[in-house]
């Protein structure tokens, strides 16, 4: 029997220089390959912004796509991550080779990109209409695609990228803190891109209040620098806060991130928008309580004692959420148990079966 073969198109994919850039796409690709599916990838692996970088990387991406066209008839499906612009190349592939077309909407493509201007919104609508199957990574995103773009519900499946519970798992906190050289006291952790939309400045302000109630508390940031301008603003905000226990780390491998998550007392995701919030589930899988903004996929993800929801762009609400977890041992234990169950429900292996079913 011939192996299933597909082409994955993504405007985010990791490289040696940007190891976490679209890592969730690479994780799914590798998991599919482990299932015996042949996957080729045409992607952008340069996260740098600015007109020069954008022009260069998207030109290279288009060239790679064109160079791959001779293999077009060999694919059973083409799977694009992000509706626009990845979906444009997937749509062209479908037009040329009549290949089954699957689109995964991750959030920013619907909540942000499609709202940039009327032209992109119209392209987004057209790509969604032409796709054979659409995957939304969260319930809120599913509803937005149906309500704002008129896509029928039975065409949209809710399947997030899934958590790798072989990497993200509970580990002994005491041992990890010694290994990571973490000082005594409560540990608050953020993992994500260093961009304004992640609520980083609000978290710095909120942590100033946290320190009043928890003098030994420390805040750790882990992530890549996406925009130098904002990163400098972030550094300035830390300096102006006059708090010594705020630590900014460079991006780390998933195995390293998992250790930091398991070693922390609370994981915080104060985003302005969030399609699903996979990083929050990864923290849950490590046995760490989550405090997150009441937006997008997080609204659904952190319901029913699986996390603490706070108001976006509100440092005081964020402080109260963090303080509540650090103070209330009973709440903390409930969040840990329900979080572990949530991670089990969102196991990558289980969700991958549903993706493969769409391919076939």
Phi first, then psi, for residue 348 (nearest 5°) are -55, -40
Domains and CATH numbers, the chain: 5-158 (3.40.50.2000), 173-345 (3.40.50.2000)
Of 95, 105, 111, 119, the residue nearest 10 (C-alpha): 105
pLDDT at 1: 63
pLDDT at 17: 80
What lies within 8 Å, CB to CB, of 45 at 6+ separation is: 13, 14, 15, 18, 21, 22
Cα end-to-end distance, the chain, whole Å: 14
pLDDT at 50: 77
d(CA 5, CA 77): 7
CB 150 within 8 A of CB 161: no
CB 53 within 8 A of CB 46: yes
pLDDT at 19: 81
The rounded average pLDDT for each run of 10 residues, N- to C-terminus, in the chain (360 residues) is 91 87 92 95 87 89 96 97 97 97 94 92 97 94 94 95 95 96 95 95 97 96 91 94 92 95 98 92 98 93 94 98 97 97 94 94
């Amino acid at each position: 029997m011939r192996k299933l073969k597909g082409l994955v198109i993504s405007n985010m994919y990791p490289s040696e220089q940007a190891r976490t850039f679209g890592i969730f796409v690479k994780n799914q690709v590798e998991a599919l390959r482990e299932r015996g599916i042949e996957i080729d990838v045409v992607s952008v692996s340069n996260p740098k912004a600015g007109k020069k970088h954008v022009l260069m990387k998207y030109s290279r991406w288009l060239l790679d796509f064109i160079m791959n066209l001779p293999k077009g008839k060999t694919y059973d499906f083409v799977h694009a991550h992000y509706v626009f612009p990845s979906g444009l190349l997937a749509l062209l592939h479908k037009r040329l080779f009549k290949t089954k077309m699957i689109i995964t909407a991750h959030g920013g493509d619907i909540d942000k990109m499609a709202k940039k201007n009327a032209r992109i919104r119209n392209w987004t609508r057209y790509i969604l209409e032409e796709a054979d199957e659409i995957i939304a990574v969260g319930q809120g995103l599913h509803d937005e695609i149906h309500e704002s773009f008129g896509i029928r519900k039975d065409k949209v499946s809710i399947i997030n990228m899934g958590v790798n519970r072989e990497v993200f798992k509970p580990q002994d906190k005491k041992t990890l803190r010694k290994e990571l050289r973490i000082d005594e006291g409560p540990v608050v952790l953020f993992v994500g891109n260093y961009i304004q939309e992640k609520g980083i400045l609000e978290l710095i302000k909120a942590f100033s209040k946290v320190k009043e109630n928890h003098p030994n508390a420390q805040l750790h940031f882990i992530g890549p620098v996406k925009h130098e301008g904002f990163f400098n603003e972030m550094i300035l905000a830390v300096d102006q806060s006059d708090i010594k226990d705020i630590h900014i780390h460079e991006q780390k491998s998933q195995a390293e991130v998992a250790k930091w998550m398991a070693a922390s007392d609370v994981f915080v995701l104060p985003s302005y928008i969030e399609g699903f919030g996979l990083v929050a589930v990864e923290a849950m899988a490590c046995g760490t309580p989550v405090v997150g903004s009441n937006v997008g996929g997080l609204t659904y993800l952190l319901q029913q004692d699986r996390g603490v929801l706070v108001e976006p762009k509100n440092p005081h609400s964020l402080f109260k959420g963090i303080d509540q977890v650090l103070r209330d041992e009973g709440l903390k234990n409930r969040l840990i148990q329900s979080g572990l169950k949530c991670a089990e429900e969102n196991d990558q292996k289980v969700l991958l079966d549903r993706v493969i079913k769409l391919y076939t």
